Amino acid sequence: MSSNLVLLIHCPDREGLVASVTAVIRRFHGNVVDLDQHVDAERGVFFMRVAWNPAADDEESVTRFRNAFVTEVATPCSMSWRLERSSRRPSLAILVSKYGHCLYDMLARWESGEWAVDIPLIVSNHRDLEPVARRHGIHFEHVPVTAATRVDAERTQLRLLREAGVTLTVLARYMQIVSPAFIDAMGGNLINIHHSFLPAFAGGSPYHAAHARGVKIIGATSHYVTAELDAGPIIAQDVVAVSHKDSVEDMVRKGRDLEKIVLARAVYAHLQHQVLVYDNRTVVFD
């Protein structure tokens, strides 16, 4: 069976959008295997994800579909859209510092075949996790970062990512703020994970501060990275309950477990082309 093509769309809502899109697919002898849509009634915006098996997915056939879709549907309907090919295996790089819980989880999902990706590169500002990369046969690069060397360090990181052919970069508890120039170079393909204690419990010991305050839930958030710190479009979030019985160590353990799960959900949704970004928000299709 031919590989799926996936079309992601958003545009002003109007009558007949689903029929217009599927009519073009049908004319190219495509068999729709999944279709999901959402209308933001407040803003009047239509969102859609449709996956189908084309009769042929060679470059010439896909180009002809693109041209027809632009002329007949996308332009008349003022659509923002992108077409993805599921047959293309993504290449993922991981940026990490000293905390290894998210890294270990991602490598397990990759190694087990749960994620159909290649992981050619791990980059870190510390050497602590270099043995992990070596055990998995993944190239590791140590790129130290200080305030004085940040520009050169990011230039080196971008070169490494480019040479490795990376299409998605994940900040797996990478404890550095990346610059707007670095973010722009990623073209929206940069995902971060962090605990959700901010802004209430900022600083280097958020779990201690949260424990002292007696919080009853711990949260984690995974989002696309934008120039505004920790304010990019959210892909996945979750919470877990804590109580007076939990020590700081218990809270840290629960928080790290949650970070692994939330990051994995976000990365998987991205890899499956299920995420559509609009106005600093996301529509995440099931």
82, 172, 208, 223 from 121: Cα distances, Å:
27, 13, 34, 21
Q: If DSSP codes are grouped into helix, strand and coil, which group holds residue 153?
A: helix
CA distance 20 to 164: 39
Catalytic residue among 57, 230, 238, 250: 230
Report yes or no: 269 and 224 within 8 Å, Cβ to Cβ. no
Q: What is the DSSP letter of 178?
A: P
Report yes or no: 281 and 252 within 8 Å, Cβ to Cβ. no
Residue labelled with tokens 């106005």: 279
Catalytic residue flag (residue 230): yes
Sequence-distant (≥ 6) Cβ neighbours of residue 48 within 8 angstroms? 7, 8, 9, 10, 17, 18, 21, 35, 36, 37, 38
Exposed e or buried b per residue across 73-89, where buried means at least 16 C-beta atoms within 10 angstroms of its C-beta: bbeebebebeebebeee
- Catalytic residues, by residue number, are 230
